Amino acid sequence: TNNELQLLRNGQKVQSDLGIPSRILSVTEIASLLPQLNLDGLIGGSFCHLDGCADPSALLQGYIREIKQMGGELYTSTEAIGISIEREEVSSVRTTKGYIQTKKVINAAGPYASLVARMTNIELPVLPYKRHVIVVSSIESIKDNMPLVVDVSTGWYMKKEYGNGVILGGTDRNCLPSWDWDSLPNQEAIDRIIETSIKRLPCLEESGIINSYVGLRSMSPDDHAILGEVQDIKGLFYAVGFSGHGFMHAPAVGEIIADLVTEGRTSLMDISPFKLQRFLSKKQVKEGYIF
């Protein structure tokens, strides 16, 4: 729609001001870049040739390696079941394997952030939503250099994995909140992805489903992250509600939260627009790039 295209134009201007060479594409340019695409209903798009992708699993392993090299400890299969507060300050965390004495706790529990916050009687407006993804077999007409494709009107997206098939998802923005991440993928949601995929990229009809899975993403009311220290509890920090942007924002957020924990402040950027208190006022700005 014209409103969605204007949103892309607004984003392109911000990116341009920051030195990112993204550009707005005409329908003809989209056809040249993605000749496999069905152009019905499209009036424009945006693209940056410098965009890339990263492997979340590989990055996680890198974090783990660095933590261990710096003397940190990791507790897997260990659930936090309580946070003790004494004189309005964090004193310890109770886990399924005992207590950890600490003056600093970071709530970065993703979809479970609100449940962790309730351990200290804090209400975080973060809810988990299912996200369905299917992987289909790679076909010759979809090349390895095909960019991530997102249809902002439906939320449908497609990403080519190098030699490992094609990831398809989206079309599920309007589902109800749920912590039930380990259930089998919903067949209705899968059918909707398939139907939308074939409409937008007809050549996918030649492929077959390899796998499907369900994950959770944590959404905030304005689709922006919630960052900072809890106002009335010293030593309790939160980095939650990334609404699908978490992996992209993680390196910067890690530095910001590290500054807050160690120095009590950060000079990297002004995080006041991301503090929890914004939900008590009318200072919220809805994120437009959620699909």
| Phi, psi for residue 111 in degrees, rounded to 5 | -60, -20
Assign 164 a pLDDT band (cuts: 50, 70, 90): confident
Using a pLDDT cut of 70, give the percent of the chain over it: 97
Give the residue-averaged pLDDT of 189-206. 93
Give residue 46's pLDDT. 96
- Overall residue count recorded for the chain in this entry: 291
Query: Residue 188 carries which side chain, given as an amino acid letter?
Result: E
- The CA distance from 193 to 172, in Å, is 9
Give residue 138's pLDDT. 86
From 74, 106, 75, select the one nearest 90 (Cα to Cα): 106
How many CB atoms sit inside 10 A of residue 70's CB? 7
Give residue 6's pLDDT. 93
Give residue 179's pLDDT. 78
Q: What is the pTM of this model?
A: 0.88
Q: What is the mean pLDDT of the chain?
A: 91
- Residue 270, pLDDT > 90, answer yes
**Residue 265 buriedness (CB in 10 A; 0-12 / 13-18 / 19+):** exposed
Assign 213 a pLDDT band (cuts: 50, 70, 90): confident
- The CA distance from 94 to 59, in Å, is 28
pLDDT tens per residue, range 223-261: 999 999 998 999 999 999 999 888 889 999 999 999 999
Q: Which residue shows structure tokens 């499907």?
A: 212
Q: Which of 81-85, 150-154, 186-190, 211-215 has the highest mean pLDDT?
A: 81-85
SS3 106: strand
